[in-house]
Amino acid sequence: MKLLTTIFIILFFSLNSFSQKLQVSQSQRYLETTDGKPFLWIGDTAWELFHKLNREEATEYLENRKAKGFTVIQAVVLAENDGLRKPNPYGEVPLIDLDPTKPNEAYFKHVDFIVNKAAELGLFIGMLPTWGDKIFSDYPGSGPIVFDKENAFIFGEFLGKRYKDKPIVWILGGDRNIANDDVLEIWRAMAAGLKKGDNGNHLITFHPRGNSSSSERLHNESWLDFNMYQSGHAFRFNTVYNYAKHDLGLQPAKPVVDGEPAYEDIAVKFWDYKIDYNKVLNSDGLIEDKSYYSKGFFTAYDVRVHAYWDFLAGACGYTYGNNAIWQMFHKGDNIAIPCLYDWHESMNHPGAFDMQHVRTALEEKFYKIVPDESLLVNQVKNGENYIAAAGSTDNSFALIYLAKGQPVKVKMSKLKANVTASWFNPRNGFKKPFGVFCNSGITEFTPPSSGEGNDWLLVLERGQ
């Protein structure tokens, strides 16, 4: 009897996980589940997941991400790296004769497996129907271009029907901006097809190119439920907070997510380098000579800085990425962007663990965050010494993120009551209270350590 009860409970929760949906909160500032629980978007960039991994690998990857606290996996049905012509591990391509009106059932059974496995683990799939190079753009890729307004609607309706009861968020765009009005009509048609197919059950957003936001062309589109920006891979200490501040100032109000910040282990401005593979890469296709990349590589520290800067600016989501994982690079593969490690090694790199600590720090607070630089006596507006500061809608806490562990002077009179102060360590997830402070005057707080890599989150919480 106990065994039967256990099996029933497992089946109950597994079946219920398949029907989870997200919606925009009444405040229009964050996402929530349909039962009204605020949803913290901690994404992972797995663009080639459906295309490159077999079922055993996909299962291992998803279980790894679940264990690390991720909540959304972003993956592409018609993938970037020659995803229409190069078959998946089972020898299947997604479309018959490159025709979006003729989906290959065998390919989509593999997609089904991954979507269902994610659902069993309580993970949402941020599903891109296609990478943007399958539609005309100013930045051609491997393509080929296969979409027009008519077949985009049909393909969208097909996907909508197939996954209408799955935990999905639709992400259009695929690293491309809107090139012209004809292209806009194609994306509109695909969005309309998705909505017809799933009866409007899932949210829709748009993933633009680097240094861009969906808001630039699409904010007033009725089908765009929330904005997504790509802060990109050009700079360390990127001013990611300016995207959130801009988009949150628009009307009508819509939530915002940083859908592609700098990836861990990718070269800064990787596009600036012309690669002599024989000199830079080893026999496995991995980078052997790191010195060639004079600007260096983004690290776990860079990932953390951008995550906390995004959230304290009011973003309701952040998508981590790793250079090997987005392309699911196996040793010996063809190279998209040269990697330091393969995808399997990269799953357990420090930046991925740090996302669990982001979730620990912010899951109970992110939806109440109100950016408030007036808490600070002095503020550096941009750059590596920028200090992110935020209060809360209910005046129950204030958060100050110190990317370089620098001392900070706080206007305590901005707080509505005496507070308990704690240091939260973004590198290990430990939180340590260190005193109670009154809400008057100015207090200087000095973190336990300082310098690059020694970031700290100051947490000021009102007593009960």
CATH of 16-367, one of 1.10.3720.10, 3.20.20.80, 1.10.150.530, 3.30.450.20: 3.20.20.80
The residues, ordered by sequence, that sit 6+ positions from 407 with a Cβ below 8 Å of its Cβ are: 444, 445, 446, 447, 450
State the pLDDT at residue 403.
Answer: 98
Bridge partner residues of 41 (DSSP) = 317
pLDDT band at 464 (very low <50, low <70, confident <90, very high): low
Asked whether the predicted pLDDT for residue 12 surpasses 80, the reply is no
Instruction: Tell me what the mean pLDDT of segment 171-184 comes to.
Output: 98
Asked whether the predicted pLDDT for residue 17 surpasses 80, the reply is no
Instruction: Tell me what the mean pLDDT of segment 352-380 comes to.
Output: 96
DSSP β-ladder status, 41-45 and 317-320: parallel
* pLDDT tens digit sequence for 268-291: 999 999 878 778 899 999 999 899
pLDDT > 90: percent of the chain: 92
Judge contact between 146 and 99, C-beta under 8 A: yes
Q: Is 3.90.226.10 the CATH number for 372-462? A: no
CA distance 10 to 335: 41
* pLDDT tens digit sequence for 237-271: 999 999 999 999 999 999 999 999 999 999 999 99
Asked whether the predicted pLDDT for residue 21 surpasses 80, the reply is yes
Instruction: Tell me what the mean pLDDT of segment 37-58 comes to.
Output: 98
State the pLDDT at residue 335.
Answer: 87
Of 125-134, 164-173, 218-227, 331-340, the range with the lowest mean pLDDT is 331-340
Of 4-13, 171-180, 343-352, 410-419, the range with the lowest mean pLDDT is 4-13
* pLDDT tens digit sequence for 187-196: 999 999 999 9
Instruction: Tell me what the mean pLDDT of segment 217-230 comes to.
Output: 98
HSE toward the beta carbon, residue 154, CA cutoff 13 A: 12
For 346-401, the DSSP string reads: HTTSHHHHHHHHHHHHHTTTGGGEEE-GGGBSS---SSTT-EEEEEETTSSEEEEE
State the pLDDT at residue 19.
Answer: 61
Q: Considering the chain, what is the average pLDDT of its residues?
A: 94
Of 12-16, 296-300, 335-339, 416-420, the range with the lowest mean pLDDT is 12-16
For 125: left if phi > 0, alpha if psi spans -120 to 50, otherwise beta; the answer is: beta
pLDDT > 70: percent of the chain: 96
Asked whether the predicted pLDDT for residue 14 surpasses 70, the reply is no
State the pLDDT at residue 378.
Answer: 86
Neighbours of 22 (CB within 10 A): 21
DSSP β-ladder status, 204-206 and 168-172: parallel
State the pLDDT at residue 274.
Answer: 86
Q: Where are the domains of the chain?
A: 16-367, 372-462
pLDDT band at 31 (very low <50, low <70, confident <90, very high): very high
State the pLDDT at residue 278.
Answer: 79
For residue 252, is the peptide bond before it cis, meaning its omega torsion is within 30 degrees of 0?
A: yes
CA distance 307 to 318: 6
State the pLDDT at residue 2.
Answer: 42
Selection from 119, 88, 118 nearest residue 106 by Cα: 88
Selection from 38, 112, 100 nearest residue 75 by Cα: 112
